[in-house]
Amino acid sequence: MTAEYPYIVADIGGTNARFGLVTENSQISNRFQIQFKQKYPSSQFENLEHATRHYLDSLNDSKVKGACLAVAGPVVDDQVTLTNLDWHFSINKIKQSLGVPKLKVINDFSAYAFATQYITPKNLISINKGKKIDDCPMAIIGPGTGFGVAALVPQNNRWRVIPTEGGHITLAAKSPLQADVIRVLSNDISHVSVESVLSGPGLANLYRALAQVEGIKQESLQAAEISQQAKSDNQSLSYRTLKLFCKWLGQSTGDLAIALGARGGVYLCGGILKKNTDFFLQSEFINGFLDKGLMHEYLSQMPIQLVTENDSALLGAAACFNLE
């Protein structure tokens, strides 16, 4: 099909809004050329329209053909709600207000899924070699400001992207310590979901709950502070928190991989893992992933790769824009 250039792509989450302008697709490198990249705090804007217009204005007189915006939340028909921002909008109304000829809005992990075919080997780290089965689903999973889950399902010799809200399934405990953490969190959180612990804000929740379980008093820390302290002091509560986080991530990823039948492979995405790659690679993630009793062998055959590409969601939005 004929591509339309230039067009805007965006990755808009609870923390940051990233934008870029796709000017062409290189046939040699099979990579979209994304230029004029900008990153803004999402809290800087009242809504998605204001954020997108702000970026449009920065392009001066560029005549864009449209936009594909990847957002952290469910997209249901014409209606979109961002999970970790108080933003709700109609796609058609935004399109009319922005005055762009074409507008697509997709879930951010749908964008990660679309991006998989464009990620170069240098931006992938093998966590489990496994044995990929080409006609089976692939799972795209990861912690960021929220916890995202999407699937790639083979259909009529193509890949169909299935967005999900898998981050909001109930978090399961597999040890007395995890059960105690969930019990503490239940005092403040009515539904302790996977995202309640396995996300940026979730890491802070886990730190607070683990302190209570251990009966120690600690100052409140944010995810970045916990990660930094964990990597510098292996005797700290932060270290124990991040260690538990990684193992619990493995357990939850294993649950989702079984549910999705992801024998085509698992892609791990999200900012938290990229920022803590060395710690993660030495963690008990894979032990948690494989510890599924009768499903151990089934899971051991699933390839798992950590995505270190910085622009995955933008690449995925670029790939999605011209699809029918």
Local structure of residue 172 (DSSP, 8 states) = P
**Token pair of 256 as six digits:** 């989702």
Distances (CA, A) of 228 to 88, 220, 224, 246: 34, 14, 6, 15
pLDDT of res. 30? 57
CATH number of 7-115+311-321: 3.30.420.40
| Amino acid (1-letter code) at residue 224 | A
Class of domain 121-308 (CATH, top level): alpha beta
pLDDT of res. 4? 77
Q: In angstroms, rounded to a whole number, what is the distance separating the alpha carbons of residues 70 and 91?
A: 12
pLDDT of res. 1? 45
φ, ψ of residue 85 in degrees (nearest 5): -135, 150
Element (H, E) at 80: strand 79-81
Whether residue 213 contacts residue 180, with contact meaning beta carbons closer than 8 Å, is answered with yes
Q: Nearest CA to 74 among 194, 192, 165, 166?
A: 165
Local structure of residue 141 (DSSP, 8 states) = E
Q: In angstroms, rounded to a whole number, what is the distance separating the alpha carbons of residues 201 and 180?
A: 19
Residue boundaries of the structural domains of the chain: 7-115+311-321, 121-308
pLDDT of res. 157? 83
pLDDT of res. 263? 97
Regions of the chain where pLDDT drops below 50: 1, 27-29
Q: Let me know if 50 is exposed, middle or buried by CB neighbors in 10 A (0-12, 13-18, 19+).
A: exposed
Prior bond of 6 cis (ω within 30°): yes
pLDDT of res. 72? 87
pLDDT of res. 27? 45
pLDDT of res. 2? 53
Q: pLDDT tens digits, residue range 104-139?
A: 999 999 999 999 988 999 999 999 999 999 999 999
Whether residue 250 contacts residue 289, with contact meaning beta carbons closer than 8 Å, is answered with yes
Helices (H), the chain: 48-58, 91-98, 108-115, 176-185, 194-197, 200-214, 223-232, 237-260, 271-275, 277-281, 285-290, 296-300, 312-321
Alpha-carbon dihedral angle through residues 317, 319, 320, 324, given to the nearest 10 degrees: 160
